[in-house]
């Protein structure tokens, strides 16, 4: 390097987390200046006379720490932000990170780890831990134990570890592996990848987004893709339940006796092994039963259906369907007002056709043909879509299922009867679920969310929200903001783990509350887990 007065300059590279000088590389010349941490809260000063590095508060200039530098005295200082290492004990710790990148390790005990604003690494290790990442793109490692993980914003990733874990990752394109145990996973908004691992897992996407992969793994799993076009849903081995809902998905049941409902989009569904129940519902679906004695229903739309091997029960539903019964004595129903094509395959098959125009359907290799009255569709009633505009709207739902969106403005939405989806979107909104098992989301700003009767799923999201679940067994997430929550009558599950000071009343029933240390929890909450 450069030489001054016949002596080579060297820098000291200091690991502040351990208080060690880890390298002394050769350097060039430069003026002596202080360095600052990325958020400006810490100032670092090299003292050439004393041979030390001092850490000061950039606000009070109080000296916080001093590290001795061996060897050549320092003339200049450069700060390369690293990852702060924060380590707990074998007991029950509460550890909080800095405004910069942190690695927080709980070790043993039932720990609470909070990462802060930047991209943090949260490692629970042994024990039943609570990991809260914050707004950055955080990495989780729950370790052994029944852990709870909350990602909030950012593209979060990680592994829950062995145990019966719970995760709600908030907004962002998240990736999480539940590992062994009976896990409950929700990626929230964003295009997520969730793996249940071994165990009877519950993967339910409550937020928006087109998820990449929802995989239950071995075990009897429940997977609900929610809203959006999910790329792939896979039940894995076991007797699984898979629900595609509104989008167009690829759904695989895997080995086991599975129940699959593709929902209203044009889906591709595969039962694979086992005696499966597979339903396409509305849309132009491709439905495959594979091995086993399957019950297959294409629903309305122009469907492509294959029963596979086994004695299958196949219903084409309204629409011009193309059906292959496969091997085995199948019962095939195409009694509707459309022209269907049926190839029965090996086995003694029975086909029901409409008596209004029996010659309309093209049948190949079908031993028994019976004419009956045309049969109606078995589709679920599609929701009415009701949307507001840029102003302050008042919107009313129908007596059936509705999908309601407030858009901009301070809106008031009434779901009324039916199982409704009510989304306030932007603005200070008031949401009423009405009768039925509703899903309500306040989204942005300060909202009032009233579940009313029914077993409701309620999310306050961002803002200082007021939430009342009403009668019924409700699931409530306060998420970001200073929220006030009343569970109402029923056995409710309320989650207010978010680093804010929330207030919770539970009401009659046996209720479970997941909370932070700063939250105020009423005496009527039977099971409080901090």
What are the sequence ranges of the domains in the chain? 3-68, 384-529
- Enumerate residue ranges in the chain where pLDDT < 70: 1-50, 56, 58-61, 69-83, 499
Strand ranges for 41-183 from DSSP E: 42-47, 52-57, 63-68, 84-87, 94-96, 102-105, 112-114, 121-123, 130-132, 139-141, 148-150, 157-159, 166-168, 175-177
At 358, give phi and psi (nearest 5°): -65, -25
> What is the per-residue pLDDT for 19?
59
Are 489 and 472 within 8 A, CB to CB?
A: yes
Quick one: tokens of 256? 């086991």
How does pLDDT run across 22-58, given as a tens digit for each residue? 555 443 333 445 566 655 666 666 666 667 777 767 6
* pLDDT for residue 83: 64
Token code pair at residue 379: 């589709």
How many C-beta neighbours within 10 Å does residue 351 have? 24
* Contact assessment for residue 528 and residue 519, using Cβ atoms and an 8 Å cutoff: no
What are the tokens at 254?
């895997």
Query: What pLDDT, in 10s, does the model give residues 432-489?
Result: 999 999 999 998 889 999 999 999 999 988 889 999 999 999 999 988 889 999 999 9
Convert 377-407 into a string of H (helix), E (strand) and C (coil). Answer: CCCCCCCEEEECCCCCCEEECCCCCEEEECC
408: its two tokens: 């901009």
Assess contact for 151 and 168: CB atoms under 8 A.
Answer: yes
Q: Are strands 102-105 and 193-195 parallel, antiparallel or unpaired?
A: unpaired
Nearest-angstrom CA–CA distance, 403 and 415 = 8
442, 459 in Cβ contact below 8 A? yes
What proportion of the chain, given as a percentage, has pLDDT over 70? 86
- Cβ pair 438, 453 in contact under 8 A: no
Average pLDDT across the chain, whole number? 87
113, 132 contact by CB (below 8 A) = yes
Quote the pLDDT of residue 528.
Answer: 92
302 close to 319: Cβ distance less than 8 angstroms: yes
- Cα–Cα dist 453/20, whole Å: 61
Alpha-carbon Rg for the chain, nearest whole angstrom, is 29
Per-residue pLDDT at 339: 94
Euclidean distance between CA atoms 351 and 97, whole angstroms: 67
Distance set, CA 236 to CA 197, 200, 221, 396, 530 (Å): 9, 11, 8, 41, 33
**85's torsion region: left (phi>0), alpha (psi -120 to 50) or beta?**
beta
């Amino acid at each position: 390097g450069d030489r001054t007065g016949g002596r080579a300059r060297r820098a000291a590279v200091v690991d502040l987390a351990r208080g060690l000088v880890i390298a002394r590389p050769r350097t060039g010349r430069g003026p002596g200046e202080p360095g600052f941490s990325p958020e400006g809260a810490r100032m670092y000063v090299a003292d050439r006379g004393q041979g030390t590095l001092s850490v000061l508060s950039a606000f009070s200039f109080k000296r916080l720490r001093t590290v001795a530098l061996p060897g050549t005295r320092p003339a200049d200082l450069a700060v390369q932000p690293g990852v702060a290492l924060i380590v707990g004990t074998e007991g029950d710790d509460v550890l909080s990170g800095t405004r910069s990148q942190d690695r927080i390790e709980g070790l043993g005990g039932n720990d609470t780890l909070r990462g802060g604003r930047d991209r943090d690494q949260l490692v629970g290790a042994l024990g039943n831990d609570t990991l809260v990442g914050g707004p950055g793109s955080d990495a989780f490692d729950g370790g052994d134990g029944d852990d709870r993980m909350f990602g909030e914003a950012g593209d979060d990733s990680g592994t829950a570890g062995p145990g019966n874990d719970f995760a709600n990752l908030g907004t962002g394109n998240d990736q999480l592996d539940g590992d062994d145990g009976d896990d409950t996973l929700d990626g929230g908004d964003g295009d997520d990848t969730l793996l249940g691992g071994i165990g009877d897992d519950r993967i339910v996407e409550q937020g928006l987004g087109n998820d990449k992969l929802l995989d239950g793994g071995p075990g009897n799993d429940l997977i609900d893709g929610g809203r959006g076009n999910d790329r792939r849903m896979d039940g894995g081995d076991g007797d699984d339940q898979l629900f595609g809902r509104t989008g167009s998905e690829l759904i695989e049941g895997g080995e086991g006796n599975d129940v699959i409902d593709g929902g209203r989009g044009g889906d591709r569904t595969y039962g694979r092994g086992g005696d499966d129940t597979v339903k396409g519902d509305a849309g132009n679906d491709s439905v495959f039963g594979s091995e086993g004695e399957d019950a297959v229903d294409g629903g309305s739309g122009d469907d492509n259906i294959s029963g596979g091997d086994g004695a299958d029960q196949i219903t084409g539903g309204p629409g011009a369907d193309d059906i292959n019964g496969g091997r085995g004595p199948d019962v095939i129903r195409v009694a509707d007002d459309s022209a269907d094509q049926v190839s029965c395959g090996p086995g003694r098959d029975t086909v029901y056709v409409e008596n209004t125009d029996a010659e309309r359907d093209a049948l190949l290799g079908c031993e028994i043909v019976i004419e009956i009255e045309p049969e109606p569709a078995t589709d679920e009633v599609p929701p009415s879509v009701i949307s507001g505009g840029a102003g302050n709207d008042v919107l009313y739902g129908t007596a059936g299922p509705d999908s309601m969106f407030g858009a901009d403005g301070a809106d008031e939405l009434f779901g009324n009867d039916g199982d409704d989806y009510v989304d306030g979107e932007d603005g200070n909104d008031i949401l009423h679920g009405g009768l039925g098992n509703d899903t309500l989301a306040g989204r942005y700003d300060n909202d009032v969310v009233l579940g009313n009767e029914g077993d409701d799923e309620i999310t306050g999201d961002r803002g200082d929200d007021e939430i009342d679940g009403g009668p019924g067994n409700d699931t409530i997430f306060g998420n970001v903001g200073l929220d006030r929550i009343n569970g109402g009558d029923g056995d409710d599950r309320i989650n207010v783990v978010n680093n804010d000071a929330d207030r919770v009343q539970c009401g009659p029933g046996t209720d479970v509350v997941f909370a932070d240390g700063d939250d105020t929890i009423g005496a009527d909450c039977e099971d409080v887990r901090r």
